């Protein structure tokens, strides 16, 4: 069943997946009004995004809202390209401002992420990203029956998740990811604050969600919170 979902890229609830990889995040298209993207992958994700939109009878021009889970390069890569071709409003948390601006100073073990990010940014000619509107804890967007911002600092200080209580869906970015039903523990090389990230994972597990739509790795389509709490 899951294979069929992936082939069709149709996750239900008018949500379509542009499948990413370890180094480019998934893009989620929420085909509602406004037409919304959750994250934008890498710059080279744009082609697949355009193809998926086209299959749904839409174009890049139709995109009206871009919600960023955080400012890492693999989640914001196509945003400037989408904004060039549309009037989309880009949103993210203010605490990730330096990531969006490409001015972030990485430190400690996180310096490896910084180096990789900077090299990729140069190769891919990534420019600073202008955020039209900063988002905040508990702010709710009028899609998916009310899509709420959950601030989950740790992976980055401005990491957020987007939660639809009505449909039991959590878009978790890199704040909560799993493999084989087990939560992937925060890694010092990728986290700005691993202890804070652990706390954010616990905060998320208090929510009631069936579907886990993360930035990378496997998705969960039923009883996600219940399954993950066991470990």
Q: How many whole angstroms separate alpha carbon 12 and alpha carbon 224?
A: 16
Site string for Zn ion, 100-139 (x = CB under 5 A): ----------------------------------------
Q: Is 50 in the site for Zn ion (CB under 5 A)?
A: no
Q: Is 215 in the site for Zn ion (CB under 5 A)?
A: yes
First to last CA, the chain: 25
Site string for Zn ion, 58-97 (x = CB under 5 A): --------------x-x-----------------------
Helix, coil or strand: residue 91: strand
Stretch that binds Zn ion, among 14-22, 89-97, 167-175, 222-230 (CB under 5 A): 167-175
Looking at the DSSP assignment, which residues form a beta bridge with residue 149? 162
Stretch that binds Zn ion, among 21-29, 95-103, 104-112, 144-152 (CB under 5 A): 21-29
Q: Please provide the DSSP assignment of 3-70 as one string.
A: HHHHHHTB-STTEEEE---SSS--EEEE-SSS-EEE----GGGHHHHHHHHHHTT--GGG--EEE-S-
Q: How far is the CB of 119 from Zn ion (least distance, A)?
A: 16
Task: Determine if the peptide bond prior to 53 is cis (ω within 30°).
Answer: no
Q: State which residue, 25 or 172, has the beta carbon closest to Zn ion.
A: 25
Please tell me the count of residues contacting Zn ion according to CB under 5 A.
5
- The set of residues, in sequence order, having a beta carbon less than 8 Å from that of 108 and lying 6+ positions away, is 188
Q: How far is the CB of 111 from Zn ion (least distance, A)?
A: 15
Pair type for strands 65-67 and 27-30:
unpaired
Stretch that binds Zn ion, among 46-54, 145-153, 164-172, 207-215 (CB under 5 A): 207-215
Q: Is 99 in the site for Zn ion (CB under 5 A)?
A: no
Q: How far is the CB of 70 from Zn ion (least distance, A)?
A: 6
Q: Which of 32, 96, 174, 197 binds Zn ion (CB under 5 A)?
A: 174
Q: Is there a contact between 77 and 140 (Cβ–Cβ < 8 Å)?
A: no
Q: Tokens for 114, please give them.
A: 């910084």
Q: Which residues bind Zn ion (CB under 5 A)?
A: 25, 72, 74, 174, 215
């Amino acid at each position: 069943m899951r294979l069929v979902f992936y082939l069709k890229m149709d996750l239900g609830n008018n949500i379509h997946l542009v499948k990413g990889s370890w180094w480019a995040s998934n893009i989620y298209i929420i085909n509602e009004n406004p037409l919304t993207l959750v994250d934008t992958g890498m710059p080279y994700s744009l082609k697949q995004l355009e193809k998926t939109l086209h299959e749904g009878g839409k174009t890049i021009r139709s995109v009206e809202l871009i919600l960023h889970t955080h400012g890492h390069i693999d989640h914001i890569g196509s945003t400037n390209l989408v904004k060039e071709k549309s009037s989309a409003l880009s949103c993210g948390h203010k605490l990730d401002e330096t990531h969006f601006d490409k001015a972030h100073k990485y430190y400690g073990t996180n310096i490896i992420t910084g180096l990789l990010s900077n090299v990729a940014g140069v190769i891919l000619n990534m420019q600073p990203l202008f955020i039209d509107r900063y988002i905040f804890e508990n702010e709710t967007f009028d899609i998916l029956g009310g899509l709420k911002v959950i601030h989950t600092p740790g992976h980055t200080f401005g990491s957020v998740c987007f939660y639809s209580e009505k449909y039991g869906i959590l878009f978790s970015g890199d704040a909560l990811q799993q493999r084989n039903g087990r939560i992937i523990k925060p890694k010092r090389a990728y986290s700005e604050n691993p202890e804070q990230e652990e706390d954010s994972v616990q905060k998320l597990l208090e929510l009631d969600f069936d579907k886990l739509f993360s930035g990378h790795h496997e998705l969960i389509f039923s009883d996600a919170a219940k399954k993950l709490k066991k470990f």
